[in-house]
Amino acid sequence: MKKYNLALLCLLFTYTVNAQVKGVVFGSNKETKTALYGARVKLLNANIGAITCEEGKFEIILPKELPDTMVFTAMGYYPDTIIVDKKDRFISFEVILYSDQLLPEVVVSHKKGTHSISRLKTLHVEELSSGELRKAACCNLSESFETNASVDVNITDAVSGAKKIQMMGLDGVYTQIQFENIPYLRGLESSFGLNSISGTWIESIQITKGTGNVVNGYESMAGLVNLEVKKPEEMEAFYFNVYGNAMGRFEVNMNSGYRLNDKWSSGILVHGSRQQGEMDRNKDGFRDVPLGHNIALMNRYQYEGKKMEAVFGFNTYLDQKYGGQVNALRDNPAGFYAVNIDSKHIDVFAKTGFFLKRPRHTIGVVYNVKYQAFDARFGPRVFNGKEQRGYINAIYDGIIGTTDHNFKVGLSGVYSNLTQQMDSLNDDREEIVPGVFGEYTYTGSRLSSVIGVRGDYHNLYNFQFSPRLHLKYILTEHLDLRITGGRGWRVPNYMIDNVSLLATSQQWIAPLTTAPEVSWNMGGSLVQEFKLFGQISSITVDYYHTLFENQLIVDRDEDFNAIVFKNMSGTSFSNSLQTEFAFSPTKTIDVRIAYKYLDVRANYGGKLQQNVMIPKHRGFMNVAYKTRNKRWEFDVTASLFGEARLPEVVLEDGLLTTNNTSEIYPLLYAQITHVYKRWDFYLGGENLTNYTQKNPIIDAENPFSPTFNATRTWAPIIGVNVYAGVRFALQQKKSEL
C-alpha cells in the first residue's frame, strides 16, 4: 500500500507541476454532513495524491499533462471522481462522499511527519505533533520545545527551578497560551505553570507567530501557542509511561480513553512526578535542582450528536518545590536560605457547538472557571496570592454564499479576582472585561485573507480596540507569502510576572500606577517548497517587528541596589528574524537547520539598550533517523547560543561586575528509542556538552547579605543529565456503532 505523509496533510505531493487546486471533502449519511479527516485524494495518471486534514481540506498540485482523473476515497464512504483540466487551475472543490454501510475493510499505511507549517492556513502556523514530543524526554510542557527553534525556554533563577518561554525575544507573558482555544497559564500560574501539564497528554502544539485571530482574545502580542490534548475517542485505551533520570527525578504518566456509547466518550489523564536527593554539583551550598513533587489529573468527556457536540471536564494539579540551601527544610528553615513553592490549581472547562439548519452555520460557546492559589518563599521574602477567574467566549460561524467567504462574530467576557502580597507591597484587583469581535475570511485561488476587529471594555482601563489583518498569497505553486499586522494588549502584573526576581536581596520599587501594555506587531514569512534528494524540502524565512506603545519596564540598571518597575519612557521594540531549512536526505532521515536573530531593546538605566539575558544569535539543528522497519529511532538536537547582555550587580566586595556579557555556549540533546510491539524503550541525554554557568549565585556564602543574587542566570547550572524510560500503549478497539 502506498505510504502518505499525514503530517503534510494538505500540503503538495508532486514531481512536475504548474498549478494547484484545493477543496474540502465531506461525508454524508443523508442526515448530517461532516468534514472527513484522512480521506485520500489521488490523480490517477500522475500517480500523486494528498490526505485531507482534520477540517477535511486538501491541496494538490496539478501536473503539466492534463486532463487527469481525481479520485476521492474514504473508509465507510462510496468513492467519487472528478475530471480536472487546465481550466480547473486554482479552483476550490467541495466534494461529498456518501456512506457505504457495506464497505469492506481497508488498511491505509502512512508516514506521519512530526513538524510542519500548514500551507492551507492564512496565518503562519507551525505544528508539532506528538511524534515531535517523543524526540526528547518531554515529561512536562517546559520540556516540549527542546526540538523547536521558534520557542525558547529559559531558567529564571538558580534556586527555584522555574522556567519561562520566550517568543521573538519577548517574555512569555506576551505570548498567549491556550488549551484547545481556552486561555491557559495566565495570572498566578504564568511563572511556574509550565510544569503543570504532562507532555504525554499532548496530541499536538500549534505555534502562531505575530498577533493571532481576534476570536482567541486580545492578549496575543508576540504569538500564540495552542495545546491540543489527546481526544477521548482517539487516545489509547491504556497508556503508561515511566521515566527516571540521574538527577533524582522520577515520573509516571497514565492515560485511558474509552467510548461509553455511540455518542459519549471519556478520557482520564494522570501525571505524577517526584524530585528527590540532595544535589550540589557546583559546591555553592545550594541545591542545583529543587526537591518536591507534582500531581496532576484531567478528566474529560465528549458528546457527538446530530445537532450538537460538547466537550467538558476538569483539570487539577498540586505542585510543591523545596529549594535553597542544602539541608534547608520546608517547615523549619532554621537559619538556612529556603525556597518553597506551593501551587494549587483547579479549573472546569466546557465547549458546546450547535449545528444550525442553515448549512455551514454553527454556534460555539467556550466556558472556563478557575481557582489558583500560589505561595512562594525566597529566603526572608514571601509572596502570597489567590485568583478566581471566569471566561466565556460565544462564536457564531457561517458563510456568505460559498465557503470562500466565511465570517465569525461573537461576544466574550473575562472576570478575575486577584489578591496578592509580597513583602510590604500589595496589589489586589478585580477585573471585568466584556468584549465583542468580528472576523471575515476570504479564501481565493491565490489570495487568502483574515480581517478582524475586536473591542474590549476594561473596568479599570476603559475601552481598548484591537484590529488585525492576515494575508497569504500563493506566489508560485511552491512559494507562499504571508503578511500580518495587528494590535494587542494586556494588563501587566509586576509581582507574579517577575516573582523569580525575589531570589535577590535587591529592593523592589513598585510602579506608582500601572497602565495596560499595548503593542503593534507587523511581519511576514516566505515558505518555499522544492524537491531535494527526491524528497520534499522547504525553506522558511520569517521576520516580525513588535513596537510597544506602552510597556511595564523591569529596569535592573537604574539602581544597582534595587529593581525598578516603571511604565515605559522612550522606545521599546523587538526585531525577530528566523530562517529554517528542512530536508530529508533519505526516506528515513529528517534534518532541520535554523538560525534566529533577536534585537530586543528598550530604555534601561536611562539609555536604549538590549534587554538582559536575551542572546542576539541562536543556531539550531535537529536530526532524526528512523530505521526502515520502524524499530529504532535516533534523535539529536544541537543549539548554539550567542552572547547576551547581563545586568550589572554589586559583588560581595562592594564593586560592580565587569563581565556584563554572557559567553557563547552550546547545548546538545540526544535520544535513542527502541519500539517493540506495544512497548517503547528510550534512553537519552541532556546538556551532553556538559556546559554550565560558573558561579550562578552571587555571594552564595552569605544568602542574607545585601549582595546576594541568584537571578543573573543565563545558562544551565547543572551538567550532563542521563535519563531512561518505558512507554506502553494499548489502542482502543474501533467501534462499529
Fold of the 122-226 domain:
Ferric Hydroxamate Uptake Protein; Chain A, domain 1 (2.170.130)
CATH 2.60.40.1120 domain span(s) along the chain: 17-98
* Better pLDDT: 154 or 118: 154
CATH 2.40.170.20 domain span(s) along the chain: 227-730
The pLDDT assigned to 736 comes to 44
pLDDT digits (tens, 9 = 90+) for 67-85: 888 899 988 888 888 888 7
pTM for the model: 0.84
- Evaluate whether 405 touches 399 at the Cβ level (below 8 Å): yes
Q: How many alpha carbons lie under 13 Å from residue 452 in its C-beta half-sphere?
A: 32
* Strand blocks (E) in 280-426: 291-304, 308-324, 338-355, 362-378, 381-400, 402-422, 425-426
Q: How confident is the model at residue 439 (pLDDT cuts 50, 70, 90)?
A: very high
Q: How confident is the model at residue 88 (pLDDT cuts 50, 70, 90)?
A: low
The pLDDT assigned to 186 comes to 87
The pLDDT assigned to 218 comes to 95
Question: Whole-angstrom distance between the N-terminal and C-terminal Cα of the chain?
Answer: 27
10 Å CB burial of residue 148 (0-12, 13-18, 19+) is buried
* Better pLDDT: 630 or 139: 630
Q: How confident is the model at residue 121 (pLDDT cuts 50, 70, 90)?
A: confident
**CATH class entry, domain 227-730:** mainly beta
CATH no. for 17-98: 2.60.40.1120
The pLDDT assigned to 423 comes to 84
The pLDDT assigned to 12 comes to 34
Mean local confidence (pLDDT), 660-687: 95
pLDDT digits (tens, 9 = 90+) for 389-416: 999 999 999 999 888 999 999 999 999 9
Pairing of strands 607-610, 589-604: antiparallel
Q: For residues 648 and 118, what is the distance between their CA atoms, to the nearest angstrom?
A: 44
Mean local confidence (pLDDT), 265-292: 94
Mean local confidence (pLDDT), 432-452: 95
87 pLDDT exceeds 70?
A: no
The pLDDT assigned to 700 comes to 93
- Evaluate whether 387 touches 421 at the Cβ level (below 8 Å): no
pLDDT digits (tens, 9 = 90+) for 347-375: 999 999 999 988 889 999 999 999 999 99
Q: How confident is the model at residue 19 (pLDDT cuts 50, 70, 90)?
A: low
341 pLDDT exceeds 80?
A: yes
Q: Which of 192, 191, 204 is nearest to 231 (CA)?
A: 204
DSSP string, 630-695: S-EEEEEEEEEE---B----B-TTSPBPS--BPPPEEEEEEEEEEEETTEEEEEEEESTT----S-
Amino acid at 442: Y
Q: How confident is the model at residue 103 (pLDDT cuts 50, 70, 90)?
A: very low
Pairing of strands 223-229, 202-209: antiparallel
pLDDT digits (tens, 9 = 90+) for 579-610: 999 999 999 999 999 999 999 999 999 999 99
* Better pLDDT: 700 or 137: 700
Strand partners, 608: 603
DSSP string, 113-158: -SEEE-SSSSS-EEEEEHHHHTTS---SGGGTTTT-SSEEEEE--S
The pLDDT assigned to 107 comes to 43
CATH 2.170.130.10 domain span(s) along the chain: 122-226
Mean pLDDT of the chain, nearest integer: 89
